[in-house]
Amino acid sequence: LTNAAGPAGQEVVQVYVRQKVGSRSRPVRQLHFFQKVEVAAGGETTVRFSIPVRSLGFHDDQARYRVEPGEYEIYVGSDSNATLGAVARITAQ
């Protein structure tokens, strides 16, 4: 995160995940991480995060918790209109 010009400031970095194709309807983007960071004037900072595979799951009709294999899009930005940052592939349950 870079503060190219202006005074020191704060930003909330948000990470959203979207399952590209799934067996059931789920939110278009789900918030999985956020962190408020301070960036000095003309400075930059790095924000690190992890998304545990288990957090990508849901409860099915038999109340079993499942994580479906497939592609998950990861969006990073300052709001829910964040741009695509990466695609992760889950290969086994």
Integer Cα distance of 62 and 91 in angstroms: 22
pLDDT recorded at residue 17: 95
Residue at 33: amino acid letter: F
Three-class DSSP category at 93: coil
Q: What residue has token string 């992760």? A: 88
Q: Mean pLDDT of successive 10-residue segments in the chain (93 residues)?
A: 88 94 88 96 93 92 93 93 89 71
- Global pTM reads 0.85
What CATH number is given for 9-90 in this structure? 2.60.40.10
Q: Are 57 and 63 in contact (CB under 8 A)?
A: no
pLDDT recorded at residue 91: 86
Strands 83-90 and 58-59: unpaired
pLDDT recorded at residue 93: 56
- What is the domain partition of the chain in residue ranges? 9-90
DSSP 27: -
